[in-house]
């Protein structure tokens, strides 16, 4: 049986690099949203590790919510976003920070931002661990991001391929033969 590590071509971002950058972003969000009591809205499943660490780095009053959406089939975005779990509370007049693992095509985050704007929040910001501008199809950008990444298939620290590799403590590039077979 193959182990996860054997499927990784190379480590793109180490645990320490991620830790340091998440703390830096958490400090910046704390400064920018001081006194605003934002609602962090995590986009499941990929955001869970990043969001947990980010929330621990933010030292302001805030709330957390989660949404679950799907738009991927294997390694590609289908372009059709489906909401599997919506917000329960009223976000009217609130400052929303959408938390996502990776801003790739932008289709999902663009859809979510427009979907939530109808509920009249005070603002919507986007915080993402990774930004992959080479794959952008929708006009969306992150207000807070930790790393620009190349156009490679990355896994770990919450990011997956077919629900696997999320538990790696670092970000690695998956070997092409793993996802092309």
So which residues are the catalytic ones? Answer: 104
Handedness of CA 117, 119, 120, 121 (dihedral sign): negative
Beta bridge partners of 69: 83
Backbone torsions φ then ψ of 25, nearest 5 degrees: -65, -40
Distances (CA, A) of 165 to 89, 92, 138: 32, 37, 27
Distances (CA, A) of 97 to 7, 17, 41, 175: 33, 23, 6, 33
Nearest to 63 by CA among 88, 100, 31: 88
């Amino acid at each position: 049986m193959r182990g996860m590590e054997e499927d990784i071509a190379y480590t793109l971002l180490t645990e320490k690099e991620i830790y340091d950058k998440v703390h830096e972003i958490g400090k910046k969000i704390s400064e920018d949203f001081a006194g605003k009591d934002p609602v962090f809205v995590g986009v499941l499943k990929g955001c869970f590790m990043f969001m947990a660490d980010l929330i621990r780095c933010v030292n302001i009053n805030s709330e957390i919510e989660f949404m679950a959406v799907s738009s991927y089939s294997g390694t590609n975005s289908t372009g059709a976003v489906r909401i599997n779990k919506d917000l329960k509370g009223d976000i009217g007049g609130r400052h929303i920070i959408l938390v996502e693992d990776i801003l790739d095509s932008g289709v999902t985050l663009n859809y979510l931002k427009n979907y939530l704007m109808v509920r009249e929040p005070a603002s919507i910001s986007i915080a993402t661990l990774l930004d992959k501008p080479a794959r952008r199809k929708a006009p969306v950008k992150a207000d807070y991001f930790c790393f620009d990444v190349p156009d490679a298939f990355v896994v770990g620290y919450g990011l997956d391929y077919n629900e696997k590799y999320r538990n790696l403590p670092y970000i690695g590039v998956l070997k092409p033969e793993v996802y092309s077979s």
